[in-house]
Amino acid sequence: MAVNGSKKKKSGQGIPGPTNPMVTPMLTDQYQFTMAYAYWKAGKHQERAVFDLYFRKNPFGGEYTVFAGLEECVRFVANYKLNEEDIDYIKNNLSVSCEDGFLDYLRRIDCSDVEVYAIPEGSVVFPKVPLLRIEGPIAVVQLLETPFVNLINFASLVSTNAARHRFVAGKTKTLLEFGLRRAQGPDGGVGASKYSYIGGFDATSNVAAGMLFGIPLRGTHSHAFVSSFMNLDEIKDKSLRKKDGSSTCKDFVSLVQSWLRKIERSNSLHGNFAETNQSELAAFTSYALAFPHNFLALVDTYDVMRSGIPNFCAVALALSDLGYKAIGIRLDSGDLAYLSCEVRKLFCSIEKEFGLPGFGKMSITASNDLNEETLDALNKQGHEIDAYGIGTYLVTCYAQAALGVVFKLVEINNKPRIKISEAVSKVTIPCKKRIYRLYGKDGYALVDILTGENEPSPKVGERILCRHPFEESKRAYVVPRKVEELLRCYCAGSSDKKEEILPPLKDIRERCIKQLEQMRSDHMRRLNPTPYKVSVSAKLYDFIHFLWLNEAPVGELR
């Protein structure tokens, strides 16, 4: 903050602003401005404060969380500036009034004096561990609390939700995020697409998210497309060029119809054939004419096995005559396990009967109110689904509405601070800290340890006492095979620290996938997972409890 005319390096130059233009310094709670005023009035506003941002409990009954939202925080800090309209609003509309001198102060502030240290985005993280440590003039850092918590809360929640869906679905399945229509407003939708991708989804149907973040776009078609057709006569241009361009089939519709008749008589259907719905056949044929290279049909508008599947096969076989390979089908209702198995059997049988290599392997996509539980149930029953389209439960984080992210003062003017609570889980861990992840002999992460900033770092091969921050009896020695320091510098402020480069989204996603793969399976399982240990050094433990006793008044019994 270039307030005293002192010469300060401006960090973060060239970093674009937040993705959502609504993310401005005004996107904060009024009490941040009123506290900033009171700090200013007390002449305290420049005092150097350290805040930790962390959460207290993993979401969804799990024992891990995927950290996301960091890039948006860095973009926010790098471009922090109130404009005249903002100042004018503050002047006239806060529920309390502030002197003009404060407004001048607000006019001049930026975040060039703010240092942000963070765990890299996409990392697997645990309760109580600071995801970010923010240092700077207390009035300024205070103003960052609400936007930072806002930017990280939903991002981390939805990334974790996506990672959990990926975990149940399995590595080999394609996961498509279909939630935009059901998301909590436009930012909820765009954010959910971005952070589901980080958590391990493969693509989104959300075009804006594709454009903004380079997430692959995928999609099928809806029931409306199928039911909009009445009959095959609606198809005017019936011609389709062969894939190799050698000739053109003048009447693709007739080719489809002739295949439908063959299927009708085929052994594959075991004589189980009724009249298929002709409007559905018209819709599929039309779709194939529009996308002969990418034909995928939604087969449940009328009757999956009696109409959708035979119609789809007729079109796919006709395409195959012209050298095209159909992609597959989407099921959006009914018993997805049963239907997928029936469909697969039929595809395989047609492959055999008509000698069409690959037909049996066509892709089966399932959708319809899917969530972790339904994916798990499908796995238990056995199914033939290759891809899932997931919307509502994923993007709204239906199973848990918020991650309890908090932003707490841990030091001011180099003096550690603590917040005491009746609930031990709410007592803060004071001091400017460092965080290390210690790995064991089989390569798995064993424990995260928080130490004071100036303590020597844990060394590979050295025995370290790791203590539970609040429970005296819980402690263990660890001899790490690998030590990883977690907090890195993303905004150097006026220090001479080297700033991390913000990685592209796909690198963040890869980090997340890799870290989750390296987690011990007992931390990952859905039922009664083992908590991952978060500890403090012996020195920090002693200091926490010294400060706790120091700050807590001694009660008096009467």
Ligand X SMILES: O=C(O)c1cccnc1
Ligand Y SMILES: O=P(O)(O)OC[C@H]1O[C@H](OP(=O)(O)OP(=O)(O)O)[C@H](O)[C@@H]1O
Ligand Z SMILES: Nc1ncnc2c1ncn2[C@@H]1O[C@H](COP(=O)(O)OP(=O)(O)OP(=O)(O)O)[C@@H](O)[C@H]1O
Closer CB to ligand X, 205 or 428, in the complex? 205
Among ligand Z, ligand Y, ligand X, none, residue 182 binds (CB under 5-8 Å by kind): ligand Y
Q: Is 532 in the site for ligand X (CB under 6 A)?
A: no
Q: How many residues line the site for ligand X (CB under 6 A)? A: 6
182 forms part of the interface with ligand Y (CB under 6 A):
yes
Residue 216 or 531 with smaller CB distance to ligand Y: 216
Shortest Cβ 366–ligand Z spacing (Å): 8
Of 60-89, binders to ligand Y (CB under 6 A) are: none
Q: How far is the CB of 388 from ligand X (least distance, A)?
A: 11
Residues 213-252 that bind ligand X (CB under 6 A): 219-220
| Pairwise CA distance, residues 211 & 192, whole Å | 14
Q: Which of 88, 99, 251, 369 binds ligand Y (CB under 6 A)?
A: 369
Kindly indicate which of the ranges 156-164, 374-382, 387-395, 398-406 contains the residues binding ligand Y, using the contact rule CB under 6 A.
Answer: 387-395
3-state secondary structure of 533: strand
Q: Which does residue 390 touch among ligand X, ligand Y, ligand Z, none (CB within 5 to 8 A, set by kind)?
A: ligand Y
- C-beta of 83 vs 294, nearer to ligand X: 294
Nearest distance from residue 328's CB to ligand X, in Å? 12
Question: Does the protein bind ligand Y through residue 99 (CB under 6 A)?
Answer: no
Contact between 390 and ligand Y per CB under 6 A: yes
Q: Quick check: 136 binds ligand X (CB under 6 A)?
A: no
178 binds ligand X (CB under 6 A): yes
Burial 229-251 (b: 16+ CB within 10 A, else e): beebeebeebebeeeeeeeebee
Q: Which does 336 bind (CB under 5 to 8 A by kind): ligand Z, ligand Y, ligand X, none?
A: ligand Z
CA pair distance 182, 189, nearest whole angstrom: 8
Residues 6+ apart with CB under 8 A from 546: none
Q: Is residue 328 part of the contact set for ligand X (CB under 6 A)?
A: no
Surface-to-core class of residue 177, CB atoms within 10 Å of its CB (0-12 exposed, 13-18 middle, 19+ buried): buried
Least Cβ distance, residue 298 to ligand Z (angstroms) = 12
Maximal C-alpha separation, the chain: 101
Region for residue 552 given its phi and psi (left: phi exceeds 0; alpha: psi -120 to 50; beta: otherwise): beta
Q: Rounded to whole angstroms, how far apart are CA atoms 140 and 32?
A: 9
Q: Which residue is nearest to ligand X (CB)?
A: 219
Q: Which residue number, 33 or 393, has a Cβ lying nearer to ligand Y? A: 393
Calpha distance 31→38 (Å, rounded):
10
Applying CB under 6 A, which of residues 127, 200, 391, 480 lies at the interface with ligand Y?
A: 391
Question: Residue 337: which of ligand X, ligand Y, ligand Z, none does it interact with, CB under 5 to 8 A by kind?
Answer: ligand Z
312 binds ligand Y (CB under 6 A): no
> Token match 């920090």: residue?
540
Q: Nearest distance from residue 329's CB to ligand Z, in Å?
A: 15
Q: Which token pair is 259?
A: 């295949």
| Cβ proximity to ligand Z, 168 vs 370, nearer residue | 370
Six-digit token string for 481:
């095979």
Side chain identity, residue 151: L
Q: For every residue of 270-283, which 3-state class applies, written as one string? A: CCCCCCCCHHHHHH
Q: What is the per-residue binding string for ligand X in 20-39, x denoting contact by CB under 6 A? A: --------------------
**Smallest distance, ligand X to C-beta of residue 161, A:** 17
Q: How far is the CB of 528 from ligand Y (least distance, A)?
A: 27
How far apart are alpha carbons 280 and 308 in whole angstroms? Answer: 7
Nearer to ligand X, 369 or 373 (CB): 369
Closest CA to 235 of 289, 310, 189, 182: 289
Sites of contact with ligand Z (CB under 6 A):
333-337, 368-370, 374, 377-378, 381
Judged by beta carbon distances under 5 to 8 A according to partner kind, the member of ligand Z, ligand Y, ligand X, none in contact with residue 392 is: ligand Y
Measured from the Cβ of residue 543, the count of other Cβ atoms closer than 10 Å reads 18
220 binds, among ligand X, ligand Z, ligand Y, none (CB under 5 to 8 A by kind): ligand X
- CA atoms of 427 and 414, how far apart (whole Å): 20
Binding to ligand X (CB under 6 A) within 380-419 occurs at 389, 391
Should residue 368 be labelled a site residue for ligand Y when binding is judged by CB under 6 A? yes
Does 497 interact with ligand Y (rule: CB under 6 A)? no
13: number of Cβ within 10 Å: 9
Question: How far is Cα 310 from Cα 268, in angstroms, rounded to an integer?
Answer: 10
AA letter at 218: R
| Of the candidates 173, 63, 194, 170, the residue with the CA atom closest to the CA atom of residue 122 | 194
496 token code pair: 């001479």
**389 phi and psi angles, rounded to 5 deg:** -105, 120
Could you report how far apart the first and last alpha carbons of the chain are, in Å?
52
Contact set with ligand Y (CB under 6 A):
178, 181-182, 332, 367-370, 389-393
Residue ranges binding ligand X (CB under 6 A): 178, 205, 219-220, 389, 391
